[in-house]
Structure formats: C-alpha cells, structure tokens
Structure 1
C-alpha cells in the first residue's frame, strides 16, 4: 500500500507527493529478523475479547522500532533466549473495540488519545527459550490484575527473574516499560509519530 511510502497533499489545487523518512515506514518484523517468534493474539480468538480482530497474523512496526527489536533479539540469543511478539501495530478502529470492553487506562489506552500501538511504536511480547518455548512469567497476556504490574513481587523468584531479564534488555535498547503490564513496551520517540488506522492486510 503506497500510503506507507509517501504522503499526498495539495497546494493551490495541485497534488504533490512527499516521500516520508524511512523510519516512518511500517515493516514486517520477520523481514527484519525471522527468528523473532510471532503469535499475534488479536488475529485469533485467543484474546480477552474472544474475537478475531485482525485479518492477518503479522507484526508491523515503524522501521526504527523494528531495528531496535532486532538488536534485542540478537542480544538475547547470546544467552539462548529470544522474543515472541503478541501485538505490534494496532489500527485505531481496533483500539476503539478494546476500549469499549475495558475502558480502563491502566490497561487499555483511550482511543481519544490513541495508543502507542496505534503509532506502530509499541510491542507486547515475552521471552522464549532456544526451542521457542515461552518462559514462565507472572501472568498470561492481557491479564488485567495487579499480578501483571511490574511492582508486584508476591511471586516465585523464577517469575521475577524472567520479568526482570525481559525488562532490562528492552530498556537497554530504548524501550519504555508500561508499569501495569509486564509484556508492554513503548519505544522512545513514539510521540513523533501520528496515529494510524490502516488495516493490517493493506500494509505491504
């Protein structure tokens, strides 16, 4: 879809095409690093809505975000670990559906403000071992309880350790952890990018 490459605008009745900086392009994470596991929950019914909200199971991110995530993956591989992503770019129309079910800004961004996901600058993910098996974490994905909070410590040491490994390596490469969701990270610089509502199947 050409919208990801240039912006059409008019001046004095004439149309112009302005090419966008490469970092604004949405890219498929597996074209950047195919070793990053992808299990997009909203492309299935295995999510808190019980509905399939995406038509394709792909992780799209702004290119600069994808490159940082590639660095995270390469770093983790030194220790026999890797990443599995659950959600990346999310169209604004899907954000509105999530908000209609859980209108709580601790866990779901108000679509009136937009989510970092809607900007292609946030990712939900977890750690996997060298065989692709998920490491134990404090909760499952989209658990809207205090156990998912980063400051919740009434947990076995192994779960705290795994959560900390993920948080530290993400922060090392410029990702900001969300306090209420151990799996959610925003990329530094997200505020420079606009909210999008392009369906995933239209991104090429």
Structure 2
C-alpha cells in the first residue's frame, strides 16, 4: 500500500504496545549455534519476500531458548526421515511487524499480525520453516510458496500434489510433537506453546549477539 522506505522511519520511531503482567526473561538464542545442520533462507533479508525489499539487515534466526531447543529436537528427529529444517523467519522485531501491517492491503490482513497486539514472532516464539532434502540440500515441494497469500497456504488445503501435502503434514507432525501449533492460514508458521510467557520484543538483530565467526 505504501513503499517500505517511506514506512521504515515511522516504524522505527514507534513504540510497541504496553502489556500488563509479568513475563519470562528474554533469552534469544541463534538457532545455527545450537545445530549448524539447520539451514537458513531468511527471506526478509533479501528481495525474495512479499514486499520485494529487504527488511532485515542480517540473515539470522533467533528464538527463545525453550523454543529453539525444541526446533533442534525436531531437526534431529527429521533426519531419520531424510529431511532437515530450513528456516525462513523466527524472532521478528516489532517495528518490522508494523511495516508489514501498514504495507499490506486490509483484505489481506489475516496474513500479517496486528502491531497493536504484537506478533508471536515478536515474542521469539514463532518460526516460519520448511523441509529440505538431506541428499540434495534443496527445499522440498510444498502446496504453496512461502508467504503466498492464498488458500494454497492453508495447512488443511486439499489441493496440490500428494507428495507436497505429505511433506507439509510430515513437518506439522514433528513440530506438534515438540509443542508447536500451526497457524490456521499458513502451513509454514508454527507458534511455540509458551508464547504468552514472553513480552513483545523490538531489539534489532545486530543488538542481540555478535555474528558468529566462520570456522
């Protein structure tokens, strides 16, 4: 609806909603430091996303420690099936959620979180992910593209190929076994069971932890 370059300054200057109650201490962990076999394809650090422009300055993925450890267990369990996890997004600073909302037409708002309420991504307890084939290293076919705003993205969508639905349901099975639940409009989006225990976060990636050195 409006260019990201126009929305960014106001989003950075805005303040997340104030929430009553007590919350657990934030402990965001970088997923690849726990398991380097987890692949990253952080779309919001590239132009390959629904807004067509980078939103993150770094291609990194963080989750609250219990959620991160659960994702690692899923990744290791899937290896027995010949698959690994590929992460598209995890913790998301609140200002990015505000940009998403302000840039998205009202009739597509079910695909983005309301910044007045905050996203479970903002709490470090939501992850967008898919499967990759351990033999080829490539992402598997799914019923829809990532961030596709159509019925094909619904986790119960009955169309597409049998193979793609099988892979989608396999991912869901292993994620649910570790305390995640799938979002009703997106097969790739999973919320961790304790998301209500964490406050909305707005810290930028570069302020969380140093970039891991190579080697």
**Which category of TM-score, normalised to the shorter sequence, fits these structures?**
0.7 to 0.9
Structure 2, unmatched stretches of 5+, are: 1-23, 210-215
Q: TM-score, normalised by structure 1?
A: 0.87
Report whether the alignment pairs 1:164 with 2:169: yes
Distance 2:75 2:152 in 1: 26
* Segment of structure 1 superposing worse, 141-150 or 100-109: 100-109
Match of 1:175 in 2: 180
Q: TM-score, normalised by structure 2?
A: 0.83
Report the CA distance between 1:106 and its aligned residue.
2.0
What is the aligned counterpart of 1:69 among 34, 51, 71?
71
3-state DSSP class of the match of 2:186? coil
Check whether the contact 2:183–2:190 (CA below 8 A) recurs between aligned residues.
yes
Distance 1:31 1:57 in 2: 14
> Which one has the largest radius of gyration?
1
Report whether the alignment pairs 1:107 with 2:111: yes
Paired positions, count: 183
Distance 1:158 1:36 in 2: 22
Report the CA distance between 1:105 and its aligned residue.
4.0
What is the aligned counterpart of 1:48 among 50, 68, 72?
50
Structure 1, unmatched stretches of 5+, are: 1-19
Q: Extract structure 1 runs of 4+ deviating beyond 3 A.
A: none
Q: What does 1:121-132 correspond to in 2, within 5 Å?
A: 121-130=125-134, 131-132=136-137
Report whether the alignment pairs 1:155 with 2:167: no
